Amino acid sequence: MIRALIALLCGSLFGLGLLVSGMTDTAKVQGWLDIFGAWDPTLAFVLGGAILPMLAAWRIAAQRTQSRLGSPMPAPAEPRLDRRLIGGSALFGLGWALVGLCPGPALAVLAWGGRSAVIFFAAMAGGMLLAHLPALREKATP
Amino acid sequence: MPIDWIFGLMGGLMIGTAAAMYLLISGRIMGASGIIGRLLDGTNRTAEPLAFVAGVILAPLILTIAAGGAPETNMTANPALLIAGGLAVGIGTRLANGCTSGHGVCGISRLSKRGIAATAIYLAAGFLTMAVLRHGLGWL
């Protein structure tokens, strides 16, 4: 119960941050990706602002064996780059530019983005399930 | 607009604070694509990710209702773009095991090689797509 409450709180703050920062405005996101046009640098401030608290959080996490609610801290970051990471990230970047939404904002705009938001989210959900197709997953090692 | 960067920084700090709380209190990495993907494929359908998703949808909705109107998403209405973009984002983030929040915010801040590489690649792919489709073909 307490885990769900904390998750609700974190999700709420995340959602509000997405809205305040401009990540749910696809014109802004596409403007950030448009380095050869009228480039909009706002997203650099969003990413920078988001990384700052996390820099401190990882330092604190490194000194602890458990989170406040008693679960183990995440395992050390996997160092290995593989084809799935490279190909998947390239595909994600392409889709991000096509519409201007990444997964977090795609979820948030379901509430007020109308038909377009529903179509995009449904396609994204379908894509997330398609990613389990063996043909896409078996080339795990480079 | 000249003050957009202040909202960007403020919103970014809110996103980072949410991620820091999720890490230090719950022991979880706050990655949107992982949370959504594991709910969809059944890997993790506990109350925790469900509550997180509910917060992401409901909190901005309540704020916009209180403020008296929804903000503009400026989203395309072209179904082909929406479907192609959604599929690419869905497949890509699950194959790469992370998106802007997981690899970008949580990965870069712990100096993860995979997080930094993923972010460099999806940004490069986004810049390239925008250059070709907006300035080359005039589609976007």
B140 Cβ contact list (under 8 Å, min separation 6): A30, A97, A98, B81, B130, B133, B134
Question: Is residue B127 included in any domain, yes or no?
Answer: yes
Looking at residues A69-90, what average pLDDT do you find?
Answer: 93
Radius of gyration, alpha carbons of chain B: 17
How many domains is chain B partitioned into structurally? 1
Q: What CA–CA distance (Å, rounded) separates B33 from B94?
A: 7
**Which tens digit of pLDDT belongs to each residue from B77-86?**
999 999 999 9
The per-residue pLDDT for A3 is 96
**Which of B5, B73, B117 minimises the CB distance to A24?**
B73
Residue A142 has pLDDT above 70, yes or no: no
ipTM of the modeled complex: 0.95
Would you call A119 an interface residue with chain B, using a CB distance cutoff of 8 Å?
A: yes
Question: Is residue B43 included in any domain, yes or no?
Answer: no
Name which of B2-6, B53-57, B80-84 the model is least confident about. B2-6
| Cβ separation A14–B15 shorter than 8 A | yes
Smallest CA–CA distance from B113 into chain A, residue: A79
The per-residue pLDDT for A73 is 93
Looking at residues B45-68, what average pLDDT do you find?
Answer: 96
Residue A67 contacts residue B122 (beta carbons within 8 Å) = no
As a whole-number percent, the residues of chain B with pLDDT over 90 amount to 91
Print the domain residue range for B92: 75-140
Confidence of residue A139 (pLDDT cuts 50, 70, 90): low
Residue B117 contacts residue B107 (beta carbons within 8 Å) = no
User: Smallest CA–CA separation between B35 and chain A, in Å?
Assistant: 10
Question: Is residue B132 included in any domain, yes or no?
Answer: yes
Domain ranges of chain A: 2-137
**Which tens digit of pLDDT belongs to each residue from A17-50?**
999 999 999 999 999 999 999 999 999 999 999 9
Chain B residues closer than 8 Å to A95 by CB: 84-90, 92
DSSP H helices, B28-112, are 32-41, 47-67, 79-96, 108-109
As a whole-number percent, the residues of chain A with pLDDT over 70 amount to 96
Confidence of residue B1 (pLDDT cuts 50, 70, 90): low
| Cβ separation A24–B64 shorter than 8 A | no
**Which tens digit of pLDDT belongs to each residue from A41-61?**
999 999 999 999 999 999 999
